[in-house]
Structure 1
Amino acid sequence: MRVLRLLLPALGLFIALAPAEAAPPRGAASCSGCHPRAAGNGPIPSLNGRPADHFMSQMAAFRSGERRSTVMTRIAKGFTDEEIRALADYFAAGGNAPAQP
């Protein structure tokens, strides 16, 4: 019992110092409303695993009107460059892809 009383505070400190999972960046949940979590044969591609530079260039093309879309043109204009970078990094790192068994 004495050992348990000594170990509990150490366990609490370990849990407090363990790195927390970073929250998805603003807008990531909205992207997932249309873009599937896993690659498929549908008309809208998954963003997970896409290179960050590709994601950023496509968002820039939507914002400028170079790439036309009824929805994405409007959505892209709602994000700052920093927010687009955060989304690009998030999805390039796997984003919300389903866990692999």
Structure 2
Amino acid sequence: MTRNTLAPPTPSLVKKRASGPRLWAICCLGLGWVVTAQAQSKDPAAFQAQVWAASCMACHGPDGRAEGTGLAIGGRPAKDLLGKLLGYKSGQLKGTIMHQHAKGYSDEELSRIADHFSALK
């Protein structure tokens, strides 16, 4: 009689699990929690938008003010930002990674993210 047990993961499997897009996402989420914990708002809805927006900082910079390769989005009109986000989500606009990010949020969540970045002056 044999038991159906799982063997511990080998180092090569562990490496594969923690690499590429997953590792990037884990790092961004970790950074997002640290940053948003410091800037926590008393309004739970505003805090939630800050948490969602924290993952944007990897490319768009702190407070949406990218330096170098990312596009600066802080302080732009919310209507313009939302239009872009919805365009990426629908596939109307092409991007390197934005279409993947935008598809992970509802239209309401994207609106709140756009409002968050728009409020950053």
How high is the TM-score relative to the length of structure 2?
0.55
2:109 aligned residue: 83
TM superposition outliers: structure 1 runs of 4+ over 6 Å: none
- What are the superposed Cα offsets for residues 62-97 of structure 1, whole Å, 9 maximum, x if unpaired? 112111112111111111011011101111100xx7
Aligned length: 76
Alignment of 1:1-101 (within 5 A): 20=42, 22-25=46-49, 26-37=51-62, 38-40=65-67, 42-94=68-120
Structure of higher RCO (CA pairs closer than 8 Å, 6+ residues apart): 1
Q: Which moved more, 1:25-34 or 1:77-86?
A: 25-34
Percent of aligned pairs sharing the same letter: 36
State the distance in 1 between where 2:97 and 2:66 align. 21
Bigger CA radius of gyration: 1
Between Structure 1 and Structure 2, the one with more helix by share is: 2
Structure 1's unaligned 5+ residue stretches are 1-18
Q: Which amino acid aligns with 2:78?
A: A
Contact 1:36 1:44 in 2 (8 A): yes
**Gap runs ≥5 in structure 2:** 1-40
- Provide TM-score, normalisation by structure 1: 0.65
